[in-house]
């Protein structure tokens, strides 16, 4: 990846905290892993938090012509942006974003409020209880 600004859905930025290699397909997992690893290794990189398809979504089967067919994820993005007190399209450095996530979204209730019926919620809750978050 180059030095461009990464477009990341707000809920994907939250998912990065507990990402354990689960996903919709091996293609999606590989792609998500590449982006997560890049961001974790380049905490100064700039990220544009958005509430629409992002750089990760290109490997998702729910992405149809750069529109997600799962409308619930738009709600998840907007809840995350609201809780982080950020707006759609705001650009932040990864480290700053992880600091904000660690400060404002750090309870089981936060995860349940955002993730609701997401199939990966239990994985994230396990992470929240057992693993240190990205500590910068």
Per-block mean pLDDT, blocks of 10 residues, the chain (136 long) = 85 83 78 92 96 88 83 91 96 95 82 76 62 50
Q: What is the pTM of this model?
A: 0.83
pLDDT at 17: 79
Helix residue ranges, H only, the chain:
10-18, 26-41, 72-84, 94-104, 108-115, 121-130
Among residues 106, 50, 44, 52, which one has the least CA distance to residue 81? 50
pLDDT at 126: 57
CA distance 69 to 73: 9
CA distance 120 to 118: 5
CA distance 49 to 52: 9
pLDDT at 128: 60
CA distance 101 to 87: 14
């Amino acid at each position: 990846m180059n030095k461009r600004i990464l477009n990341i859905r707000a809920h994907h930025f939250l998912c990065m905290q507990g990402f354990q290699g689960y996903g919709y397909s091996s293609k999606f997992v590989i792609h998500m892993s590449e982006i997560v690893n890049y961001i974790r290794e380049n905490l100064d990189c700039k990220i544009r938090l958005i509430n629409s398809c992002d750089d990760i979504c290109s490997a998702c089967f729910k992405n149809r012509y750069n529109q997600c067919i799962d409308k619930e994820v738009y709600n998840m993005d907007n809840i995350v942006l609201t809780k982080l007190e950020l707006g759609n399209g705001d650009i932040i450095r990864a480290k700053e974003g992880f600091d904000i996530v660690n400060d404002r979204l750090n309870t089981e209730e936060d995860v349940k409020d955002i993730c609701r019926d997401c199939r990966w919620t239990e994985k994230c809750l396990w992470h929240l209880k057992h693993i240190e978050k990205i500590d910068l």
